[in-house]
Amino acid sequence: MSADRIDGKAFAGGLRERLAATVPAFTAATGRVPGLAVVLVGEDPASSVYVRSKGKATVEAGMASFEHKLPADATQAELLAIIDQLNRDDAVDGILVQLPLPKQLDEQTVIAAIDPDKDVDGFHIANAGRLAVGQPGFVPCTPLGCLMLLKDRIGDLSGLEAVVIGRSNIVGKPMAQLLLGESCTVTIAHSRTRDLPAVVRRADIVVAAVGRPEMVKGDWLKAGAVVIDVGINRVAGSEAGKTKLVGDVDYASAAEVASAITPVPGGVGPMTIAVLLRNTVVAAHRRAGLAPPAGL
């Protein structure tokens, strides 16, 4: 048995095409395009690459991209002033502050300053609360992308047993809430879980988001399980001095047991920016008093 490869890159491409197709009708109704503002503090190379990718994807979808860059020694007051400006800017529907921030800035204070209705990252405590009680809000992009891939693969998730490995506020906890919302039976596993392989072996759905390279082995899995690997870990490659990306799941052994699995790279990763654009389009419609387009 060899698992089907869940192609997140292809799915994300289709989602971005569907999003772009909604923009003309929105513009006809409102006289403007949806707008996403990204704030970058400092010159972290990985963050700079992400910001460029987000800006490019935003423009390709026919939307407005606004970038605000601050030096690495920016003060909290300077960053909060930009967020306040963006909260009040009617051309901006979504606000994303690129994390991590320099040490002198408090991430929780910064996130709390964003208007929850423009919080397309889904990190504001108001949106976490909305997710927990089942009210409309914004969900962090990575777990929502995972859910889209699962539903595309499986269809109805009701009654399935799901194990989420990892309990972060960005992936693990919201992923569990989303699966509960789909009527799964959900277990959140983590570093203190006793006999983790036995817990994982119960699951029809495994979402690995623990940040440990290739930790989940094939013999941890139930035959036919669907595996979503959120991990992105850089490890030594086969050639001296070269590195490669691997997930939190040992792909080779897991693919012998699972029915379907996301690769790394090319699985969950491409979904994150696509869902960010999706959240921005939904935010734009809600702010304009319009129903968000179906199928997003």
Assess whether 56 carries a catalytic annotation. Answer: no
Assess whether 135 carries a catalytic annotation. Answer: no
Distance CA 178, CA 226 (A): 16
Centre a 10 Å sphere on the Cβ of residue 294 and count the other Cβ atoms it contains: 6
Please report, as a single letter, which amino acid is at residue 200: V
Centre a 10 Å sphere on the Cβ of residue 10 and count the other Cβ atoms it contains: 11
Assess whether 121 carries a catalytic annotation. Answer: yes
Stretch (H or E) spanning 236: strand 233-236
* Residues contacting 9, CB < 8 A, separation 6+: 266, 267, 270
Please identify which of the residues 93, 98, 119, 204 carries the catalytic annotation.
Answer: 98
Is residue 204 within 8 A of residue 132, CB to CB? The reply is: no
**What 8-state DSSP symbol labels residue 116?**
G
Please identify which of the residues 93, 121, 229, 250 carries the catalytic annotation.
Answer: 121
Catalytic residues, which ones?
54, 98, 121
